[in-house]
Every structure is written in structure tokens, then in C-alpha cells.
């Protein structure tokens, strides 16, 4: 299911935004090179609010305990382990779509 | 077309250089390595462990066959290069192989020096240099009983220790008056000898070997004084000499070693030398750390990125000789123009000596307790003044406190309490991944990642596992893994090239990750703000969430709000106001903080700006790396012991330094008498009122590293307190690493040094000028956001709820 979750303008570069769709909470990111990613807004460690993390390249650092998570595949980077759910995101005509 | 790179010598120095090259440019070269030994690259330093029987070759292998394969390196092990044709640029081997090169590296290492005495070629005489020597000695120990080791230096004693382990009787023969004369002074050496003799070694001093005798195989050693001893096995460990024959034959300039310049270039173009075979500025190094430094410089040069030249290394020895901790560095002998500070605890076999020349620490010897060795090494390298020495160095060793805590811990003991990392897990990671620094251990295991309280212990573990190798890798502290530059180097570059943004710093200084990480981005943001007050605009995206949102993120994703209450003194009206706000926004918890403030906990992010607006109070900065609170006692107005108006001064200090950003959080306190009800003794700046004046304490900490503050000075007036505190804070702002608390900083730079800076009237005036410039550029962040709709939108509002309706 493809859902429209906002406008590209609502996404500042390297600052996350949270959006709720039904019972899901997603963190949306627009990276420095203008790619848009969507992941589940919960760090697998202690449920940290990933949308508030520092974004560097295609990674976000969880604000609670600095876990490093890849936005592309959702993998937690070593030495930590785990995975967050990722959603395919796309931009068309200034609108951001996420595939649920 | 890839260039052809040939390495002669498959040892530690050469292969490390290849590793560095691969890091810089994986694609540049087609690499071929020749090694005379039939093994992949192993850690020669640990040979003595193999000899002792508790370690196998596999355990000390640095690069496995698989590593060579994975990196596309052709390795010819057990094959020796016999000729280098520098005209046609090719090498020939003893197997008739011919390989061309564009660049050629000599890393031929060194050979053990064999005394030119009669009988040196008898069976049963061996050096102690490679795995074969080891195997030979192990074999001998099975049949024979009596061993003699010629050479009472480091290597000789390690060999002797191994042989003792294998059950042999061991004589150690040394030509000098005392053992390890190149690392120890006579006192330390005598202690060492006593320990070794206790373990069963027999030490013979002032014995010069005349000949080895025996019928068919070695049976004994005869000395020049006419005496002799029996021996079934003789190990020569009298030194090494650079292996330069091939280089000399090839027409390359050779002195004692292969002569190289600061970029490790030999006299012949496209030919380089690193490691024990190389002679740089007249010095041939035999320790690992310098060889690794050389490898790095050469790698850069060969990849066409000539960076810093190699300018020689300061070496230190920190090692375990037969289970005894020994450390030495720099000028460790007493001599003309030096003075020394000594501790000699004969009962516990602890000896510590620090050598001082013109007030500066130039060398040290530690025996029995070497826990402070690394710190001393840093001080020696920096040329620290003797005042910087901490007294704890000379405190008597705790009962039974010989040896490090790290060594004494069990594998299941937890080193890092925050992340539950055990000693066993750390040691395994160090061994498996070849970790060399605390930062690497942190990245692999999480140990020391949170509060950092166990950093020292992790460093000790590294030392414990790697010995001297650990030393050099912990000397330089880079900002983070994204760069090889230290704080100092980065700050210098920022100022010199007037870099104005985080991005600029990263791109000009060649950051490895284009956008940095969660460590360097906030650090650079701070440094830029400190260097360009009023000019630099903080980058919201480079701030940790607490500072970006000016509120503390809590475990459940809500935030906490702490308004400023100067000096902890409030009013009924303020309290009523806070209570109203708490009710209006359903704040689930109201709590008095440790710093005498009121904390509203459990606030939703979107509510923050409205709560601040309703409170109408300035931010208490409870989230910031900045001045937090000034805790006070009630003082002379009410207290029967109070000598001064502590609340008054506390309020004044808080109002003066409010909003000042610092490398880490700063807490202050003012007490009105030495009873210290405001806990001034464990604050970054603690003021204690006494009759007729104020004492100023600095560098205290009540956190993970509990530390009592040091008395900086005593002053008469409140104005002087403000002035001194201001100068202290500004100097801390300018010279501390980001995230370094004053407690660590005071210990690192030394209280005496800080005094020198602050007590100089001119310097203090300049510091205060810069401080006021920084202060005058600040505004209240809560109000800024309350008044700025765009910022609220950008930082505090989520996109909100969306209907889960498919658009296709």
C-alpha cells in the first residue's frame, strides 16, 4: 500500500521528522544528498526516538544511547546488533510517499 | 593499469605498511610479497609466549593466508629474494622467479647477532629470533636439562624465562655490571635480578664469553676470566643487526642500516625501506611502535599523498619480564644537570624514579608498579613541568597491589558497568580484531562508550595484552574515527584557514566520512562556536537532541524542563507559576533536582515551546554543555556558622556566566563555611567562604570519576571571585577537548600550569576579554524559540497523523 506522508518541504536536510500512519510511527529522513528514507521510529535497543537522532550520510545515531543505524537497510551497526523496519520511500512532484 | 609493488620481507613492519596502503587505496597496486620464512606474518614480540608453551603459532599470527588472498596479494613464503636489478626494476629469487616492480619496499628486518667465538657453530647453539629457534629450544628441553643464555637484555631474559618454564636449569650470562642496562638504572636492575633469582634463574654478571666447547654438540661455555659452566643448550641473545646484505649488493646506500630520508626513500628512486633494516637520521629502531609509524608515512608517500614526514620516534619500554612489571622511557639515568624523584619500597619490591631536567620531566623508570607508565610517557613526550606530577605516583603501593587491576580481574568480571562488558569479552575482541586503542575497543565491544568511567581500565587491559605496542596507539587522541587529526591539529587548521562551518572543516581536512558522526559533529560545532563567538551560527543538525531542543530527552521519549532559578533562591510567585504550568500541561512528575532546581518531567516535545512561554522564565540549561547551576548554602544571613553571603554570590555568579557554552557541563557551588553544605568540593568551580575571604576550588566532580577539587587560590572580594572564575572558565573553554570535564582537564594540563596562566595579569585580562565577547553574543534559547515560528515548525513539530489510505 502506497501512502502519501507529507511534502518534501516538510523534511529539512539531516533532521528527522516523525509521522504516524494508522498505528505505525515512522521516522522520515532527508539526507544531505537529498535521498528520502523511512524507518520505524523506534530504536531496537530501548525504543529511542530515531527521528531525533543525528543524521550522517545514510546513518542515524539513536539519541538515547548512540546506536548507529543504517537508513537503507535498517541494520544496526556493530558492535550493536539488531534491525529496524524500513519502508520504501519515494518523492514525486514534491510529495513524499511510503510503501507500507 | 595497476602499478606493481613488491615487498621484500613478510614481517611486522612491511606487512603493516601494506595494510596502510590498502587503507589509502585498495586499487592502486598489484602487490607481491616475498618472505624467507614459510609462515604468514606473525607477531614476533610474542615469540617468548610460544616458547613458554601456552601459545601456538596460530595465536600470534597477524595476517592469515586468507587475508593475503582476500586482498589479492601474491605471497611467496619460504622464498628468498637474492637479487634486485635496479636498472631493469626486477627482483630474482632463490627459486628462479623473476618479478618486475614499479615500487619496491625493503622490509628485511634484522638478524640475530652471533658472537664470533669458537664453537658458535656447534649444534645446540641457537639464536632467539624466529619460530624455528623457538621450536628448536622446545625440542632441546625435552632431552636436556641445562641451558645458558648469553645476554641479559630484554630478549635474553625472555628466552631465559621461557626455558625455565620448559623445565630447564638456566644460567643468564651478561657482560655488564647489571641486567637490562639499556632500559634500567642499577637500582631497578638489582630488584629485577632479585625477582629472577627467586624464580630460579642463575645470573652471572661481568662475564665475557671466550668460547663454546663440546664434542659433537655444545657442552659448555668458557669465559675470558678462565671460569666455565656446563650447558646443553646455548641461546645467544646479544643483539640484532639490520639485514642489509641484499640492499648493499644491489647498490643501495647502506650504513648500519639501509639509509632512508624522512619519507623512507633510499638512495635509489622507487626503492624504500621500513622497519629494523632501515636507518633513519642515524637511528635503527628495534621496537614495534616506530616501525608502524614509518609504515604509515611510507604508505602515504607511495600512494602519492605525501603528508607529514617521519621525524623519528621517542621510545618507551613497558613490558613484562618474567611476570615482573618494568617500564622505562626517555632519559632514565641520573646524570649531569638532572635531578630525580624516587620511591624505593624494598619490602614490596616497588621502585619509581622520575628524572627531571630544568624543571621538566625527561625520563622515568618504574619497577613493580607500572600503572602510571603511559601517563608518564605522555608527560615526557610533552615535556611537562615537574609540578604536573600527581602525588599518587609516589603513594605507597596498596597492600598486595603489585601488578595491575586489569591483570588481576577474572574473565567474567565486568569492566564496563554501563554496557555490561566483561574482561573476557574485551580481551577476546582485542585478540580477534587486533585492536590497538581504547576507541577501537569501544567500537567493537561497547566498553567505555557510555559514561567513560572504565576508559582507564580498558587502557590497562590493552597494555596488559599488547605490552609496549599499546603505548604508542593511545598517545594521540583523535577527535573521532572519522579523522586522524587531534583536537589541536583541527583547531589550528580552523584558525589558519578560517574554516567557518562544520562541513568546511570536514571537506578541507579530508574527513573519512563525508558527514562525520555523532562524535565529531557536535565537537566541531562547539569548537567553531568557541573560536567565532557571535559570528558562528550553531548548526541544529550537528547538535545532540538535548541541545537542539533545549530540553532533556528521557528514556520514554518525553522531555524534561528545568527553568533557571538563580542560586536556588525562588519566590512564592515563581512557585505558583510553575505549579500552574504543571497542571495545565498535565506534567506527570515535578522533582527537585540535585542542583536545587525544579524539574518538570514527562513533557511532550510539541508542548515544550508553549510551556516555556507560559513559564516566562529563562532556560536553566539543564540539558547543555554549559554552565548549569550554582548551588548555594543559606549563608551568614541565616546560618549560625556562615561567614559570607553565599546565596548572594551564587546568584551573581550564575547571572554573570549564564548561557556560557563549555566543552562539557559545568557545575558551580558557593558555601559560606568549610562545612560545605553546597558541596563545593566536588564542583567544577567551588567557592568556600572563610573569615575575610573566599577560597576558590576547581576541577571537582561528583560524577563517574569522583574527584575532590583542588584549591586554586584564596581571594578577598567577590569581584575577585568573579574574575578568577571567569578566567578559569574561559581557559577551560579554549584548551579542553570537547566532552572533557574540568576534573580530567585539570589533571591533564596540571594545576600549576593553570595557575601560571591565570595569575599572569595580562593573560587573565585577555582571557576575560574573550569571555565577555562570548557572553555578550548569547541570548536565551527558550525565548528565541518561543518567538520564532519557523524554528518551532522545524524542530518541535512532527508531521502529525496521516490516514493510511493508499494513493494508488
Compare all CA atoms of chain A with the CA of B559 and give the residue at the minimum distance.
Answer: A49
Return residues 527-566 of B near A (CB < 8 Å): 540-545, 548-549, 553, 555-557
Compare all CA atoms of chain B with the CA of A25 and give the residue at the minimum distance.
Answer: B801
Q: Is B508 on the interface with A (CB under 8 A)?
A: no
C-alpha cell at B494: 580552523
* Average of per-residue pLDDT across B182-193: 90
Check A79 against B541: CB less than 8 A apart.
no
Beta-strand (E) ranges in A1-100? 2-7, 17-21, 24-30, 36-40, 54-56, 59-61, 68-70, 86-92, 95-99
pLDDT of residue B589 exceeding 70:
yes
Q: Is B432 on the interface with A (CB under 8 A)?
A: no
pLDDT at position B565 is 97
Question: Across the A/B interface, how many CB contacts are shorter than 8 Å?
Answer: 105
pLDDT per position as a tens digit, A33-80: 899 999 999 999 999 999 999 999 999 999 999 999 999 999 999 888
Distance CA A55, CA B502 (A): 14
Closest partner CB to A63 (pick from B544, B794, B801): B544
Q: How would residue A25 be classed by pLDDT, with cut points 50, 70 and 90?
A: very high
Q: How would residue B474 be classed by pLDDT, with cut points 50, 70 and 90?
A: very low
Q: Is B806 on the interface with A (CB under 8 A)?
A: yes
B269 burial level (CB within 10 Å; 0-12, 13-18, 19+): exposed
Q: How would residue B437 be classed by pLDDT, with cut points 50, 70 and 90?
A: confident
pLDDT of residue B59 exceeding 80:
no
Highest mean pLDDT among B449-463, B653-667, B789-803: B653-667
With contact defined as beta carbons under 8 Å apart, do B644 and B652 qualify?
no
Cα angle B132, B135, B136; round to 5: 85
Check B521 against A56: CB less than 8 A apart.
yes
pLDDT per position as a tens digit, B399-429: 333 346 677 677 877 787 777 788 889 988 8
pLDDT of residue B384 exceeding 50:
yes
Q: Is A88 on the interface with B (CB under 8 A)?
A: no
In this predicted model, which residue has the larger pLDDT, B68 or B705?
B68
The percentage of chain B sitting over the pLDDT mark of 90, rounded to a whole number, equals: 59
List A56's β-bridge partners, or say none.
A59
Least confident piece of the model among B19-23, B88-92, B679-683, B702-706: B702-706
pLDDT at position B168 is 94
In this predicted model, which residue has the larger pLDDT, B171 or B383?
B171
Work out the widest C-alpha separation in chain B, in whole angstroms.
Answer: 104
Q: Is B67 on the interface with A (CB under 8 A)?
A: no
Phi-psi region of B505 (alpha: psi -120 to 50; beta: other; left: phi over 0): alpha
In this predicted model, which residue has the larger pLDDT, B242 or B474?
B242
Three-state secondary structure of B734-785: HHCCCCCCHHHHHHHHCHHHHHHHHHCHHHHHHHHHHHHHHHHCCCCHHHHH
Residue B807 distance to chain A (closest CA, Å): 6
* Average of per-residue pLDDT across B661-682: 95
pLDDT at position B475 is 46
The percentage of chain B sitting over the pLDDT mark of 70, rounded to a whole number, equals: 95
Q: Provide, as residue numbers in chain B, all residues whose Cβ is less than 8 Å from the Cβ of A68.
A: 517-518
Check A12 against B794: CB less than 8 A apart.
yes
Distance CA B365, CA B261 (A): 32
Check A57 against B515: CB less than 8 A apart.
yes
Q: Is B337 on the interface with A (CB under 8 A)?
A: no
Q: How would residue B126 be classed by pLDDT, with cut points 50, 70 and 90?
A: very high
Q: Is B711 on the interface with A (CB under 8 A)?
A: no
Residue B577 distance to chain A (closest CA, Å): 30
Q: Provide, as residue numbers in chain B, all residues whose Cβ is less than 8 Å from the Cβ of A49.
A: 553, 557
In this predicted model, which residue has the larger pLDDT, B794 or B49?
B794
Q: Is A52 on the interface with B (CB under 8 A)?
A: yes
Distance CA B140, CA B134 (A): 10
Return residues 597-656 of B near A (CB < 8 Å): 605
Q: Is B512 on the interface with A (CB under 8 A)?
A: no
Closest partner CB to B545 (pick from A14, A63, A78): A63
pLDDT at position B473 is 42
C-alpha distances out from residue A47 to B19, B339, B552, B604, Å: 39, 59, 16, 16
Check B802 against A1: CB less than 8 A apart.
no
pLDDT at position B542 is 95
pLDDT of residue B586 exceeding 70:
yes
pLDDT at position B452 is 66
Check A53 against B545: CB less than 8 A apart.
yes
Closest partner CB to B513 (pick from A24, A46, A57): A57
pLDDT per position as a tens digit, B72-121: 999 999 999 999 999 999 999 999 999 999 999 999 999 988 899 999 99
Check A32 against B514: CB less than 8 A apart.
yes
Please report where in the chains the cell 515551546 appears, as a residue.
B609
Closest partner CB to A49 (pick from B521, B557, B805): B557
Distance CA B663, CA B152 (A): 49
Q: How would residue B523 be classed by pLDDT, with cut points 50, 70 and 90?
A: very high
Closest partner CB to B541 (pick from A15, A64, A78): A15
Residue of B440, B798, B805 for testing the chain A interface, max A β-carbons within 10 Å: B798
Q: Provide, as residue numbers in chain B, all residues whose Cβ is less than 8 Å from the Cβ of A80.
A: 446
Check B518 against A51: CB less than 8 A apart.
no
pLDDT at position B1 is 80
Q: Is A94 on the interface with B (CB under 8 A)?
A: no
pLDDT per position as a tens digit, B238-287: 988 999 999 999 999 999 999 999 999 999 999 999 999 999 999 898 77
* Average of per-residue pLDDT across B697-712: 91
Q: Provide, as residue numbers in chain A, all residues whose Cβ is less than 8 Å from the Cβ of B548.
A: 52
pLDDT at position B402 is 38
pLDDT at position B634 is 94
In this predicted model, which residue has the larger pLDDT, B335 or B568?
B568
Residue of B450, B517, B524, B557 for testing the chain A interface, max A β-carbons within 10 Å: B557
pLDDT of residue B748 exceeding 90:
no
Residue of A1, A17, A32, A63 for testing the chain B interface, max B β-carbons within 10 Å: A63
10 Å Cβ neighbour count for B310? 23
Q: φ, ψ for residue B475 (rounded to 5)? A: -65, -50
- For residue B18, the Cα-to-chain-centroid distance in whole angstroms is 24
pLDDT of residue B747 exceeding 50:
yes
pLDDT per position as a tens digit, B294-304: 998 999 999 98
Q: How is chain A split among helix, strand and coil, in percent rounded to 5?
A: 5, 50, 45
pLDDT at position B321 is 64
Predicted TM-score of the model (pTM): 0.56
In this predicted model, which residue has the larger pLDDT, B208 or B396?
B208
pLDDT at position B399 is 34
Check B446 against A28: CB less than 8 A apart.
no
Return residues 743-802 of B near A (CB < 8 Å): 794-795, 798-802
Mean pLDDT of chain B: 89
Least confident piece of the model among A24-28, A79-83, B259-263, B778-782: A79-83
Check B541 against A12: CB less than 8 A apart.
yes
pLDDT at position B55 is 73
Residue of A5, A6, A47, A56 for testing the chain B interface, max B β-carbons within 10 Å: A56
CA quadruple B92, B97, B103, B106: dihedral positive or negative?
negative
pLDDT per position as a tens digit, B163-173: 998 899 999 99
Contacts of B559 (CB under 8 A, 6+ apart): B549, B551, B552, B553, B603, B604, B605, B608
pLDDT of residue B655 exceeding 90:
yes
Distance CA B364, CA B384 (A): 13
Check A19 against B557: CB less than 8 A apart.
no
Check A17 against B800: CB less than 8 A apart.
no
Amino acid at each position: 500500500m502506497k501512502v502519501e506522508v507529507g511534502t518534501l518541504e516538510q523534511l529539512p536536510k539531516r533532521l528527522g521528522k516523525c509521522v504516524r500512519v494508522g498505528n505505525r510511527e515512522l521516522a522520515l529522513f532527508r539526507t544531505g544528498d537529498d535521498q528520502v528514507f523511512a524507518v520505524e521510529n523506534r530504536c531496537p535497543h530501548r525504543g529511542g526516538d530515531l527521528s531525533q537522532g543525528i543524521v550522517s550520510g545514510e546513518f542515524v545515531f539513536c539519541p538515547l544511547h548512540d546506536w548507529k543505524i543504517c537508513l537503507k537497510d535498517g541494520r544496526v551497526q556493530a558492535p550493536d546488533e539488531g534491525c529496524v523496519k524500513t519502508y520504501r520511500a519515494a518523492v514525486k512532484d514534491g510529495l513524499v510517499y511510503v510503501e507500507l | 593499469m595497476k602499478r606493481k609493488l613488491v615487498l621484500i620481507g613478510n614481517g611486522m613492519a612491511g606487512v603493516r605498511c601494506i595494510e596502510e596502503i590498502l587503507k589509502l587505496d585498495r586499487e592502486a597496486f598489484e602487490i607481491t610479497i616475498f618472505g624467507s620464512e614459510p609462515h604468514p606474518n606473525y607477531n614476533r614480540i610474542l615469540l617468548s609466549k610460544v616458547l613458554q608453551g601456552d601459545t601456538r603459532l596460530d595465536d600470534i599470527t597477524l595476517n592469515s593466508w586468507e587475508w593475503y588472498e582476500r586482498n589479492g596479494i601474491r605471497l611467496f613464503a619460504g622464498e628468498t629474494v637474492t637479487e634486485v636489478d635496479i636498472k631493469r626494476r626486477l627482483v630474482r629469487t632463490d627459486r628462479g622467479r623473476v618479478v618486475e616492480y614499479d615500487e619496491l619496499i625493503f622490509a628485511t628486518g634484522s638478524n640475530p647477532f652471533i658472537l664470533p667465538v669458537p664453537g658458535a657453530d656447534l649444534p645446540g647453539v641457537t639464536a632467539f629470533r624466529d619460530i624455528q629457534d623457538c621450536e628448536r629450544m622446545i625440542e632441546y628441553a625435552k632431552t636436556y636439562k641445562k641451558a645458558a643464555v648469553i645476554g641479559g637484555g630484554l630478549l635474553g631474559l625472555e628466552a631465559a624465562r621461557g626455558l625455565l618454564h620448559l623445565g630447564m636449569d638456566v644460567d643468564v650470562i651478561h657482560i655488564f655490571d647489571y641486567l637490562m642496562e639499556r632500559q634500567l638504572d642499577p637500582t631497578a636492575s638489582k630488584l629485577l635480578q632479585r625477582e629472577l633469582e627467586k624464580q630460579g634463574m642463575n645470573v652471572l654478571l661481568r662475564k665475557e664469553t671466550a668460547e663454546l666447547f663440546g664434542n659433537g654438540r655444545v657442552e659448555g661455555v668458557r669465559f675470558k676470566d678462565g671460569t666455565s659452566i656446563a650447558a646443553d643448550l646455548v641461546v645467544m641473545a646479544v643483539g640484532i643487526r639490520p639485514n642489509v646484505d641484499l640492499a648493499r649488493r644491489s647498490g643501495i646506500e647502506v650504513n648500519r642500516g639501509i639509509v632512508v630520508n624522512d619519507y623512507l626513500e633510499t638512495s635509489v628512486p622507487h626503492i624504500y625501506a621500513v622497519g629494523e633494516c632501515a636507518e633513519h637520521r642515524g637511528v635503527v629502531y628495534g621496537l614495534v611502535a616506530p616501525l608502524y609509524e614509518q609504515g604509515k608515512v611510507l604508505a602515504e608517500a607511495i600512494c602519492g599523498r605525501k603528508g607529514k614526514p617521519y621525524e623519528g620516534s621517542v621510545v618507551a619500554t613497558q613490558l613484562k619480564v618474567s611476570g615482573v612489571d618494568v617500564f622505562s622511557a626517555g632519559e632514565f639515568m641520573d646524570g649531569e644537570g638532572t635531578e630525580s624523584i624516587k620511591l624505593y619500597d624494598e619490602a614490596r619490591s616497588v621502585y619509581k624514579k622520575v628524572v627531571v631536567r630544568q624543571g621538566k620531566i625527561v625520563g622515568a623508570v618504574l619497577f613493580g608498579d607500572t600503572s602510571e607508565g603511559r601517563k608518564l610517557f605522555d608527560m615526557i613526550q610533552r615535556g611537562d613541568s615537574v609540578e604536573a606530577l600527581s602525588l599518587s605516583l609516589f603513594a605507597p603501593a596498596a597492600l598486595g597491589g603489585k601488578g595491575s587491576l586489569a591483570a588481576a580481574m577474572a574473565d567474567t568480571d565486568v569492566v564496563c558497568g554501563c554496557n555490561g562488558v566483561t574482561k573476557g569479552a574485551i580481551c577476546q575482541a582485542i585478540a580477534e580484531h587486533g585492536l590497538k586503542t581504547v576507541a577501537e575497543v569501544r567500537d567493537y565491544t561497547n566498553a567505555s562508550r557510555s559514561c567513560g568511567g572504565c576508559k582507564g581500565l580498558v587502557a590497562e587491559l590493552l597494555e596488559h595484552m599488547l605490552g609496549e605496542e599499546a603505548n604508542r596507539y593511545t598517545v594521540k587522541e583523535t577527535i573521532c574515527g572519522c579523522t586522524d587529526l587531534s583536537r589541536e591539529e583541527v583547531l589550528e587548521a580552523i584558525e589558519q584557514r578560517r574554516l567557518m562551518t562544520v562541513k568546511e572543516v570536514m571537506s578541507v581536512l579530508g574527513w573519512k566520512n563525508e558527514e562525520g558522526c555523532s562524535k565529531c559533529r557536535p565537537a566541531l560545532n562547539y569548537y567553531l562556536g568557541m573560536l567565532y563567538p557571535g559570528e558562528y551560527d550553531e548548526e541544529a543538525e550537528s547538535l545532540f537532541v538535548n541541545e537542539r531542543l533545549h530540553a532533556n530527552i528521557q528514556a520514554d521519549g518525553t522531555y524534561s524542563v528545568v527553568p533557571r532559578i538563580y542560586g536556588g533562591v525562588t519566590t512564592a510567585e515563581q512557585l505558583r507559576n510553575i505549579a500552574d504550568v504543571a497542571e495545565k500541561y498535565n506534567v506527570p512528575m515535578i522533582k527537585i533536582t540535585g542542583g536545587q532546581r525544579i524539574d518538570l518531567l514527562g513533557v511532550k516535545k510539541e508542548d515544550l515551546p508553549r510551556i516555556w512561554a507560559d513559564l516566562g522564565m529563562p532556560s536553566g540549561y539543564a540539558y547543555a554543555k554549559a554552565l548549569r547551576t550554582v548551588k548555594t548554602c543559606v549563608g551568614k544571613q541565616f546560618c549560625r556558622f556562615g561567614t559570607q553571603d553565599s546565596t548572594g554570590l551564587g546568584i551573581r555568579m550564575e547571572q554573570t556566566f549564564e548561557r556560557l557554552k563549555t566543552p562539557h557541563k559545568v557545575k558551580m557551588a558557593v558555601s559560606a563555611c568549610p562545612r560545605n553544605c553546597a558541596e563545593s568540593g566536588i564542583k567544577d568551580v567551588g567557592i568556600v567562604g572563610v573569615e575575610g575571604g573566599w577560597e576558590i576550588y576547581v576541577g571537582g566532580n561528583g560524577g563517574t570519576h569522583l574527584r575532590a577539587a583542588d584549591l586554586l587560590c584564596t581571594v578577598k572580594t567577590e569581584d575577585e571571585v568573579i574574575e578568577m572564575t571567569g578566567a578559569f572558565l574561559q581557559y577551560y573553554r579554549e584548551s579542553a577537548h570537547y566532552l572533557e570535564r574540568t576534573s580530567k582537564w585539570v589533571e591533564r594540563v596540571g594545576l600549576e600550569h593553570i595557575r601560571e596562566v591565570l595569575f599572569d595579569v595580562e593573560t587573565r585580562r585577555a582571557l576575560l576579554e574573550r569571555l565577555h565577547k562570548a557572553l555578550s553574543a548569547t541570548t536565551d534559547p527558550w525565548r528565541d524559540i518561543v518567538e520564532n515560528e519557523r524554528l518551532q515548525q522545524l524542530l518541535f513539530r512532527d508531521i502529525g497523523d496521516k490516514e493510511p489510505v493508499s494513493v494508488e
